Amino acid sequence: MKSISVIGSGTMGNGIAHIFAQKGFRVSLVDIKSELLEKALATISKNMDRQVAKGMLSEQEKDASLDLISTFTELEKGVAEADLVVEAATEHLPLKLEIFRNLDQLAPAGAILASNTSSISITKIAAVTQRPDQVIGMHFMNPVPVMKLVEVIRGYATSDQVTKSVMELSRKLDKDPVEVNDYPGFVANRILMPMINEAIYSLYEGVAGVAEIDTVMKLGMAHPMGPLQLADFIGLDVCLSILRVMQEGFGNPKYAPCPLLVNMVEAGFRGVKTGEGFYSYT
């Protein structure tokens, strides 16, 4: 695989474009507005500067990597030569299904269609295409250039060959891929989100304050961030939507989101991206 198209240039999309370009792949980054693409390129450049400052990348390698990224506002042009498409658009089911219907029409017949979804069923996404055996999940973690994991999710119809190719490709990105099956929350969020929800319940029930809960988990369990800070970093709306997918998918009340989380999202407190969550970022 040489040519990768990334759909969506937000936090995850620009991180995914960054690491593919850094490893020498040609990247077509696609979004609906050119301002979003310009912002994404500036973010990639800034994040590469961090790597240059640490000696992980030379200035020449940074420039060569940036040269490998082309930007497109038209999906048709952006995926015309793709060997692999990685979709990293907003976590909204109708939008994802629409994108995959279009990708199926527009991407070359042999191209693998991957989604970076954190909780939407790969099987459901694959079912709207004529190539469900070539549809797979590639769930990167934020911040993509730093985190080693790629959760590789096999949909019900994903072929062994496609899974093997995506596992190998992930290793070429210097990541450690883990293969999992397609059930709600996969593995990463099935375990992470109940922990975050329980931290929010601990706050809601007055067991301890925000800083105290995070300190217990940081110092007691060696987590780099406490669960409430991590929830802010992921986005409280994203946490809520993943919990609802699991609650509905398993039909089990143990995944029901804490009422405090629901209230915060409804009030517009979505974490780092809105400036307010469990902490203030203004």
By the rule CB under 6 A, 227 interacts with ligand CAA: no
Given 45, 80, 143, 178, the residue binding ligand CAA (CB under 6 A): 143
Q: Are the beta carbons of 63 and 52 closer than 8 angstroms?
A: no
Q: How many separate helices (H) and strands (E) can be counted in the chain? A: 12, 8
- Give the x/- contact pattern for ligand CAA in 166-205, rule: CB under 6 A: ----------------------xx----------------
Q: What is the largest CA-CA distance in the chain?
A: 56
Find the catalytic residue in 47, 189, 197, 241: 189
What does DSSP assign to residue 127? T
Helix-strand-coil split of the chain, %, nearest 5: 50, 15, 35
Least distance between ligand CAA and beta carbon 272 (Å): 11
Choices 59-67, 142-150, 152-160, 267-275 (CB under 6 A): range interacting with ligand CAA: 142-150
Using CB under 6 A, count the residues that bind ligand CAA: 17
- Known active-site residue 223: no
145 Cα distance to chain centroid: 12
207-226 footprint of ligand CAA as x/- string (CB under 6 A): -----------------xx-
CA distances, 106 to each of 71, 79, 90, 92, 99 (Å): 17, 7, 20, 21, 10
Active site includes 252?
Answer: no
- Name which position in 2, 50, 92, 172 contacts ligand CAA (CB under 6 A): 50
Query: Peptide bond before 143: cis, by omega within 30 degrees of 0?
Result: yes
Residues found near ligand CAA in the complex (CB under 6 A) = 47, 50-51, 54, 118, 141-143, 145-147, 188-189, 224-225, 230, 234
The catalytic residues are 118, 139, 151, 189
